[in-house]
Every structure is written in structure tokens, then in C-alpha cells.
């Protein structure tokens, strides 16, 4: 009788964990949508993969939970790393080849391949805006550092101004 109660308790815990895991996946999806738009397709595909995993009956709850935590770890790591990757930027209906520089979650910057323009993601405008020419060398240096073609060093990147709180 004791063994049967324990088995029933395990099944009950399994049923209560599933809604938690689904909520974690929804939270992760929402975070990806409101975050700066880097590697968007890859990040959305990771979330979609988790949703598919949750529908599979041949995967244990422990494995589902491990994979969800792994996805959270990947997202967490993005906040502590610098990365460069190739992509395109839509300018007036034309896809322009660019190199992106992601600095943690505080900066997403692009440089066109022809080196004619640099710009940064503006979270308030929900879009990229061109930067002045004083950033050209800094962005180029940041891309070299991210590609491990140059030693790590301080770089200058545009950052949004912090919001001013009311005085108490």
C-alpha cells in the first residue's frame, strides 16, 4: 500500500510539473520577442523545438525539464558574451549584407560589408538607426575582437540613456 501511494505521488508530481514547464517555455518565447533582435530565427526555433518536445510522449519529464533549463542557460549566456555574425538588413525593401556585433544584451550594432554605414538597434524605436562616422573604427575593432582576430580590449559602443527616476 505504501509503495502504491508513492507511485501515485510521483504521477501527481509529474502532472503538476507539466504546466510549470509550459509556462517556462511561454516566458522564454515572450522574452525572445521583446529582447534585442539578434539570431531571432535560431532563438525562435529553439523555443518551437521545446514546444514540440513537450508534445512527445516518448520523452520523460526529466529530459524535458533538462532541455528547458538548457535553453534558459543559452539565453543567459548571451548576456555575458560578445559575438559577430553575418546577416542582412532590410533597407527600403532591399536586403543589404552586414556584419552584426552583439555585445551582451546591451548592444546590437551593424556594419555594412562595403564599410559605408554603421548603425545600432534603438529599443525605443524598435529599429536600427545609423551612427555617425566616429563609430566606424570602434565597430570594426569590436567585430575583430568578437571574431577573435584581435585581443580583447575596451571598445566604444552606443548605449541607451538610463531612464531618470523620480526624486524622493
Nearest to 84 by CA among 126, 132, 116, 38: 38
Q: What mean pLDDT, rounded, does the chain reach?
A: 88
Mean per-residue pLDDT, 95-121: 93
Is residue 82 within 8 Å of 102, Cβ to Cβ? yes
Which of the four pLDDT bands, split at 50, 70 and 90, describes residue 168? Answer: very low
- Residue 119: is its pLDDT beyond 90? yes
Q: Give the C-alpha separation, 88 to 98, whole Å.
A: 5
Nearest to 99 by CA among 45, 141, 133, 71: 141
Which of the four pLDDT bands, split at 50, 70 and 90, describes residue 124? Answer: confident
Q: What is the DSSP string of 63-132?
A: HHHHHHHHHHHHHHHHTT-EEEEEEEEEETTEEEEEEEEEETTTEEEEEETTSS-EEEEETTTTEEEE--
Is residue 101 within 8 Å of 142, Cβ to Cβ? yes
Q: Residues 26-70: pLDDT tens digits?
A: 999 999 999 999 999 999 999 999 999 999 989 888 899 999 999
Range with the poorest average pLDDT among 3-7, 74-78, 94-98, 140-144 = 3-7
pLDDT at 14: 66
pLDDT at 162: 57
pLDDT at 8: 66
Amino acid at each position: 500500500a505504501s509503495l502504491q501511494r508513492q507511485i501515485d505521488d510521483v504521477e501527481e508530481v509529474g502532472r503538476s510539473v507539466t504546466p510549470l514547464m509550459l509556462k517556462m517555455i511561454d516566458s522564454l518565447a515572450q522574452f525572445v520577442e521583446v529582447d534585442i533582435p539578434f539570431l531571432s530565427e535560431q532563438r525562435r526555433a529553439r523555443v518551437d523545438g521545446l514546444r514540440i518536445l513537450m508534445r512527445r510522449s516518448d520523452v520523460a519529464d526529466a529530459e524535458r525539464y533538462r532541455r528547458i533549463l538548457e535553453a534558459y542557460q543559452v539565453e543567459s549566456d548571451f548576456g555575458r558574451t560578445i559575438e559577430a555574425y553575418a546577416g542582412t538588413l532590410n533597407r527600403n525593401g532591399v536586403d543589404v549584407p552586414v556584419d552584426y556585433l552583439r555585445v551582451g544584451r546591451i548592444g546590437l550594432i551593424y556594419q555594412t560589408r562595403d564599410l559605408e554605414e554603421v548603425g545600432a538597434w534603438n529599443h525605443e524605436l524598435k529599429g536600427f538607426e545609423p551612427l555617425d562616422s566616429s563609430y566606424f573604427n570602434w565597430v570594426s575593432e569590436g567585430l575583430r575582437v568578437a571574431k577573435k582576430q584581435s585581443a580583447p580590449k575596451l571598445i566604444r559602443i552606443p548605449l541607451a540613456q538610463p531612464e531618470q527616476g523620480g526624486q524622493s
